[in-house]
């Protein structure tokens, strides 16, 4: 630990109190540091790329609230937008101009989206998009990919059954086996695994939902032709394609992965960046499909706080800054600089480390010289070694996501000196990793 870091006594005390009244002491499981051990840091404040914990320790943050804070913490324009919106009231349960403005911008930016509906989380977005796909196609089954995360709706907490081409089985207790059976689990980057389901369940599959660049089980890259092949295959069989761009939307390009590669999914889901750090999700797509939602159509979907005016203004301010600062070339530049500085400082592969990066999203695979092409194929040693790297980084003022399966986020607030400092610490941490063969 660097001399300037204090022992996390206040975090420990708060964690103890939290555990008495909140299950596991946290409101979302991965925050509990279960994957890396130790005490989660309770955060007092953030500014730019920095967070400060309750003990006064400062960290350069690469978790960034798991992705939303593309502009950094407490960006003045976002805070101004929130303050001026909040003075007018926090919620009306009636339409406001703010949601029209954000919807107009979103539809302008994202080609495949003619119409959009706002919700309050990514989970709600994917759940609603899937209900819409089922209602539109009048079919019940869905396909997801092993290792892709789409929020915590029952039928999305499912893993492959015994061998592909069978029904899925629940990954969480509380999910009825019958519900899990409506989900078929395919292998990412394998069109054959999807094809087999279409052959075995003819005219029964409503949609395929995919993280087009999976970023919840490491960061996995799509092989050439996989995503377009998936769209073609679905359409050939009368099914819809949903790109879940909750992480990648407004992050890898202003129109997400769809925009980056010029693809046209039928529906898309968003969250994170679009709320500027407030609870917002959205789903949208082809107008003909979107018109099937109530009050126009028969697919019910609703929300007391959906399109909340304060959250809409935070999202709008975020998109306006992204637009005015030529953000996406900046983000690519910073991501590329970070990667090249690190690769200059250390030959990752010599230490059993591989790195994937797409623009400002990065991931270290600590289980070998190459990142896998299937998110369910990450070597178990990777997580054990990540624990070491994570704590080395934390003790030296670099805050990474507390799980080796999660990605890191660079944003517009990370300057050159922040990236340099992170490279120094990470290269040192990688040098100290136990050899692959010794990691449990």
Catalytic residues: 149, 244, 272
Is residue 306 at the binding interface for ligand PLP, with CB under 6 A as the rule? no
Structure token digits, residue 41: 């840091």
Give me the DSSP letters along 238-262.
T-EEEEE-TTTBTTTBTTHHHHHHT
105/272 with CB nearer ligand PLP:
272
Residues 149-208 that bind ligand PLP (CB under 6 A): 149-151
- DSSP-derived letter for residue 39 is P
- Judged by CB under 6 A, which stretch of 39-47, 121-129, 303-311, 418-426 contacts ligand PLP? 121-129
Least distance CB 130 / ligand PLP (angstroms)? 11
Is residue 406 at the binding interface for ligand PLP, with CB under 6 A as the rule? no
**Could you identify the residue written with the tokens 């925050």?**
31
Structure token digits, residue 181: 């059976």
Least distance CB 272 / ligand PLP (angstroms)? 7
Closest CA to 375 of 194, 167, 190: 190
Start-to-end C-alpha separation, the chain: 24
244/418 with CB nearer ligand PLP:
244
126/182 with CB nearer ligand PLP:
126
Size of the site for ligand PLP (CB under 6 A): 15
- Judged by CB under 6 A, which stretch of 115-123, 194-202, 307-315, 414-422 contacts ligand PLP? 115-123
Name, in order, each residue with C-beta under 8 angstroms of 324's C-beta and a sequence gap of 6 or more.
none
Is residue 339 at the binding interface for ligand PLP, with CB under 6 A as the rule? no
**Cα gap 239→191, rounded to integer Å:** 15
Is residue 246 at the binding interface for ligand PLP, with CB under 6 A as the rule? yes
**Cα gap 274→270, rounded to integer Å:** 7
Pick from 57, 182, 216, 286: which binds ligand PLP (CB under 6 A)?
A: 216
Is residue 122 at the binding interface for ligand PLP, with CB under 6 A as the rule? yes
129/342 with CB nearer ligand PLP:
129
The angle at the Cα of 310, spanning 309 to 313, to the nearest 5 degrees, equals 85
Other beta carbons within 10 angstroms of residue 207's beta carbon come to 25
Least distance CB 307 / ligand PLP (angstroms)? 16
Closest CA to 59 of 365, 390, 403, 384: 390
Least distance CB 122 / ligand PLP (angstroms)? 2
- Judged by CB under 6 A, which stretch of 47-55, 117-125, 189-197, 332-340 contacts ligand PLP? 117-125
Other beta carbons within 10 angstroms of residue 233's beta carbon come to 17
- Residue 142 near residue 134 (C-beta atoms within 8 A): yes
Structure token digits, residue 256: 């997400």
Residue nearest to ligand PLP (CB): 122
Is residue 405 at the binding interface for ligand PLP, with CB under 6 A as the rule? no
244/339 with CB nearer ligand PLP:
244
| Interacting residues toward ligand PLP by CB under 6 A | 66, 121-123, 126, 149-151, 211, 216, 244, 246-247, 271, 281
């Amino acid at each position: 630990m660097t001399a300037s870091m204090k022992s996390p006594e206040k975090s420990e005390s708060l964690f103890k109190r939290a555990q008495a009244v909140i299950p596991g002491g946290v409101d979302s499981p991965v925050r509990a540091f279960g994957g890396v051990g130790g005490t989660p840091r309770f955060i007092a404040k953030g500014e730019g790329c920095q967070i400060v914990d309750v003990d006064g320790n400062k960290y350069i943050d690469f978790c960034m609230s798991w992705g939303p804070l593309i502009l950094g913490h407490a960006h003045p324009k976002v805070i101004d937008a929130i303050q001026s919106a909040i003075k007018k009231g926090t919620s009306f349960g009636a339409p406001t101009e703010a949601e029209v403005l954000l919807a107009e911008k979103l539809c302008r930016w994202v080609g495949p989206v003619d119409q959009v509906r706002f919700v309050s989380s990514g989970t709600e977005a994917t759940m609603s998009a899937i209900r819409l796909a089922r209602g539109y196609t009048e079919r019940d089954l869905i396909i997801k990919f092993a290792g892709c995360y789409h929020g915590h709706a029952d039928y999305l907490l499912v893993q492959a059954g015994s061998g592909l081409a069978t029904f899925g089985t629940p990954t969480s207790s509380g999910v009825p086996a019958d519900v899990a059976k409506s989900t078929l689990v395919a292998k990412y980057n394998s069109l054959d695994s999807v094809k087999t389901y279409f052959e075995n369940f003819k005219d029964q599959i409503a949609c395929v939902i995919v993280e087009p660049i999976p970023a919840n089980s490491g960061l996995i890259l799509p092989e050439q032709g996989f995503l377009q092949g998936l769209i073609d295959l679905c359409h050939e069989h009368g099914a819809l394609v949903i790109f879940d761009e909750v992480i990648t939307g407004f992050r890898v390009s202003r129109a997400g992965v769809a925009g980056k590669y010029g693809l046209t999914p039928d529906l898309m889901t968003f969250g994170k960046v679009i709320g500027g750090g407030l609870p917002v999700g959205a789903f949208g797509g082809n107008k003909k499909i979107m018109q099937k939602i109530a009050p126009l159509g028969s697919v019910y979907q609703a929300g007391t706080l959906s399109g909340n005016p304060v959250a809409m203004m935070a999202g709008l301010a975020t998109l306006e800054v992204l637009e005015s600062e030529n953000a996406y070339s900046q983000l690519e530049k910073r991501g590329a600089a970070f990667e090249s500085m690190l690769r200059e400082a250390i030959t990752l592969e010599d230490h059993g480390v591989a790195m994937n990066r797409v623009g400002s999203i990065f991931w270290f695979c600590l289980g070998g010289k190459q990142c896998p092409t299937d998110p369910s194929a990450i070597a178990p040693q990777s997580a054990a070694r990540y624990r070491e790297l994570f704590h080395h980084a934390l003790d030296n003022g670099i805050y990474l996501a507390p799980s080796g399966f999660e990605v890191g986020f660079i944003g517009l607030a990370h300057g050159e000196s922040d990236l340099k400092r992170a490279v120094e610490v990470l290269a040192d941490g990688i040098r100290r990793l136990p050899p692959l063969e010794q990691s449990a």
